[in-house]
Structure 1
Amino acid sequence: MRIVVLGNEGSWYVADLQRAARERGHVCERIDYGALVAEASTARNTVLSGDEDLAAWDAVVIRTMPPGSLEQVVFRMDALHRLHESGVQVLNSPRAIECAVDKYLTTARLARDGLPVPATIACEGFDQAMAAFERLGGDVVVKPLFGAEGRGIVRVSDPDIAHRVFRTLERIGAVLYLQQFIRHPGWDLRLLLLDGRPLGAIRRSNPTDFRTNISREGHAEVHTPDDREVEYAIRAAESTQTRFAGVDLLYGPDGTLYVIEVNAVPGWRGFQKATGLDVAERVVSSIESSS
């Protein structure tokens, strides 16, 4: 098999996928989004990287969706859709990526499908954001609509700080995405799913930060999920159409289990260290089975 990874140069995850692919007898190469060239004519309708026609490859694994202009992001998604439609296996699918990278769309779909989510309000204006701040109890988590690894997430519980944060976000043309802060026991859960089944789970904690992301020095330990945790994670992956997903769950003070996020480009370095599971090998094996 020939596998392309859309990922950053020097990425540990790209290297791990290449290692796993090599061990299973496959070719695995990394490319940047900037290398993509799309052609559309009666003679040729495809996506290229250099002289390579990516439609001739067996699979494309998405390991990053870097920031860019609206046109750049739309073009990247168009190229992924074109590859998917031409029969190339894309992990995750373009539809899943479009949903999961958009925090509001993800939360709205989870709520639509009956999964408990923190009360959430998204808007564009300062006045609406200040009203939302009050409606959500004056203690909120403000997140970028697009983002990962906890970057850009802040907790705001002071009206004066809220005023400054919301004004700043309005001025730079950002969407103001506010979630009610859920008081929790100091840890959350990350379940990693592949092909509709959990590979395993970890419990993440951080004594100095409400963000438990491993990339932010959070601590991970192996966790055995119960039936409800597994059910919620599977349903969350189905809601977002993600085949390979990291689902974050959080318990509130009354025992309510919330689905916080679904990540369609999930990291597994901390998960692998805690569980001992070779995730890249599982991913490559899944690609084989679906070819």
Structure 2
Amino acid sequence: MAKQTGWLVYNGGLNSAKFKEIHEWYRQTAKSKGISLELVANHELMSVMEDGEPVVKSRMNLNQPDFVLFLDKDIRLARQLERQGLRLFNRSEVIEICDDKTSTFQALAGKGLPMPKTIISPLMFDGTKEQDDSFLDLIEQELSYPIVVKEAYGSFGEQVYLVRKREELAKRRKELLYVPHLYQEFVESSAGRDVRIHVVGGEVIAAMMRVSETDFRANVTNGGVMKSYKPSREFCELAIAASKHIGADFSGVDLLFGQDGKPLLCEVNSNAHIKNIYDCSGIDVTEAIFDHIIQVVGK
């Protein structure tokens, strides 16, 4: 049987030592599974509409692989690769939904999954002005202070804010008026702590708790500390359901602790980083990811 081949597509602008280490990590795991994995930056591929057909070209004249491990958020390139008949892990639709927090909550609404009350900010075109503060009134009718404000696009918790009164809400809304964002109820019982669960192929592979003593956000980037954690059945079931409903092959699902200790959905990441969970749990998620890819591509 011929050796399986794959591309790991990454963003060429993210070439720090941290990202290089992760990409090489994936490549070595693939090699151990009998897969030849080529590391390909997104700018090394060119999406072209030629003679009315979608084509992907490369200056390296790469042979078409059996699959693509797509570790970027270049949705247009992902779609173009899929038009070539390539199977992406994760699919372009999954990456797009997870990249936009408003899309994530809309996609999962109506599925019976517990989540914080969430309000999506209406679209405002750059240069236009709100006529009055009526939308602030609507937010205050639905949510109590403090209120969490999240930009739709962002990573590591850096585009997440907490406002405690109307003046702060008005100021933050003015700053984000032309930026897609949402307003969400603050889950006091989970302040400074959450759970990250890695799901691959519909199974929980690894988990950890993140705790911060100084910030309402538990992200490690913002000073949170990782702790070993064995999630309950309820936490596992919610993480699996969220990943399944979005259609993810693998994901990092962030859950909050509700008032009664039950899980609430916070976020679904289509390309969760693997190093922190490994450092905390000792579990190499890349092993499960390639086992899943082999199973799917084999079919």
Q: Give TM-score scaled by structure 2 length.
A: 0.85
User: In the TM superposition, what whole-angstrom CA distance separates every residue of 1:189-245 from its partner, at most 9, and x where no partner exists?
Assistant: 111000111102111111111111223332112222221111111110112111111
Contact 2:234 2:262 in 1 (8 A): no
2:71 to 63, 78, 99: 63
User: In the TM superposition, what whole-angstrom CA distance separates every residue of 1:61-83 from its partner, at most 9, and x where no partner exists?
Assistant: 22232xxxxxxxxxx42431232
1:183 partner amino acid: E
1:156 maps onto 2:163 in alignment = yes
Matching residue of 1:213: 219
1:228 maps onto 2:222 in alignment = no
Paired residues for 1:140-155 under 5 Å: 140-155=147-162
Matching residue of 2:208: 202
Distance 1:240 1:142 in 2: 23
* Consecutive unaligned residues in structure 1, runs of 5 or more: 66-75
Matching residue of 2:7: 4
Q: 1:256 to 1:21 in 2, by over 3 A?
A: closer
Distance 2:134 2:44 in 1: 41
Q: CA deviation at 1:256?
A: 4.0
- Greater mean alpha carbon deviation, residues 182-191 or residues 114-123: 182-191
- The structure 1 segments of at least 4 consecutive aligned residues displaced by more than 4 Å after TM superposition are 42-45
Give the SS at the match of 1:48.
strand
Matching residue of 1:277: 283
Q: 1:275 to 1:248 in 2, by over 3 A?
A: same
Give the SS at the match of 2:226.
strand
1:167 partner amino acid: K
Q: 1:23 to 1:211 in 2, by over 3 A?
A: same
Identity within the alignment, %: 25
Distance 2:222 2:272 in 1: 15
Tell me the C-alpha RMSD between the 2 structures: 2.2
Matching residue of 1:19: 28
Matching residue of 2:116: 118
Distance 1:168 1:41 in 2: 42
Matching residue of 1:191: 197
Give the SS at the match of 1:184.
helix
Contact 1:144 1:152 in 2 (8 A): yes
User: In the TM superposition, what whole-angstrom CA distance separates every residue of 1:146-180 from its partner, at most 9, and x where no partner exists?
Assistant: 1121121111112212121111111xx11231111
1:174 maps onto 2:176 in alignment = no
Give the SS at the match of 2:188.
coil
Contact 1:144 1:175 in 2 (8 A): yes
Give the SS at the match of 1:192.
strand
1:121 partner amino acid: I
Count how many residue pairs are aligned between Structure 1 and Structure 2. 278
Q: CA deviation at 1:18?
A: 1.8
Give the SS at the match of 2:215.
coil
Matching residue of 1:287: 293
Contact 1:156 1:162 in 2 (8 A): yes
Contact 1:129 1:166 in 2 (8 A): no
- Greater mean alpha carbon deviation, residues 97-106 or residues 11-20: 11-20
1:108 partner amino acid: Q
* Consecutive unaligned residues in structure 2, runs of 5 or more: 125-129
Distance 2:83 2:214 in 1: 46
Distance 1:147 1:193 in 2: 21
Matching residue of 2:127: none
Q: CA deviation at 1:43?
A: 9.6
Distance 1:84 1:190 in 2: 29
Distance 2:137 2:260 in 1: 26
